[in-house]
Structures are given as C-alpha cells and as structure tokens.
Amino acid sequence: MNLMRSTTLSIVASIGLLAVPATSRAQVTGGEQNPHFGDTSSRADAASLQKKATQAQARIHANKDDRDQLMIAVKTNEVASAKQVLLRNGFTAEDLENAKITLRTGGGKGGEDEIEISATCCDPKEITIRRSLEYFTK
C-alpha cells in the first residue's frame, strides 16, 4: 500500500512539474503581440493599395491627357512623370513614398494601347504600370 501511495505521489509530482514550464511559457508569450495581427494589417494595406491602383487606372483611362502623359512616361521610362499622373488620380504622397515604381512596356493584345496598374504592399511596396502595345501587321 505504501508503495502504491509513493508511486501515485511520484506521478502527481511529475505531472505538476510538467505543468509549470507550460504555464510559464504561456505567461512569457502572453505579453507578445499576436503574430497574425501584423499580417492582417499588411493584407489590409495591400488591398487598399490595389484598390487605389484599380481606381486610378479607371480614372486615367477616362482622362485622355493623363492617359497620354502616362503612356509617354512608360515609353520613356520617366518615373517622376508617372508619379505626377498617379498623384492626380487617387494615390497620395504617402502611398508613393518609398514605393518602387516599375514602368513596363509589354507585348500587344491585338487591340488598343492599354495601361494596367497593379500594386503590392509591403516591404517592399511596389507599383507596376504596364503598357501593352498593339501589334501592327500589314
């Protein structure tokens, strides 16, 4: 009987010792930020930036002067000129601050020249403006 009691006490004590490190870990990590919180914030920032890109693209397509200026900026690889057009069409200076702006001229789709604007966020924040060119065949 004494052997059984000492074995039971030994098992209970072992379980108690195992529980202490688990609770101490919980207390240490309990003060840290949730790692998913930052990820959720950056996804919201990315969605917001892409929404601005989509809206700017629609505005630029509707405004011949801005569309022509952006077409020329892409063709001549003038980032400063492209930024001016983006600022007039929904982007803020904060959106463009520290953003990598990539201007690309791509192959044609067999139709009119088109401008596509896409954005990715964060670290690094990147805005890509792609101009598709019409193939001319005779």
Which residue ranges make up each domain of the chain? Answer: 43-138
Per-residue pLDDT at 16 exceeds 90: no
- pLDDT beyond 90 at 66: yes
Instruction: Read off the pLDDT of each residue in 53-76 and give the average, rounded to a whole number.
Output: 95
- For Cα atoms 28, 31, 35, give the angle at the middle one, nearest 5 degrees: 100
Helices (H), 31-128: 35-62, 64-76, 79-88, 93-96
The reported pTM is: 0.64
Instruction: Give the mean pLDDT of the chain.
Output: 76
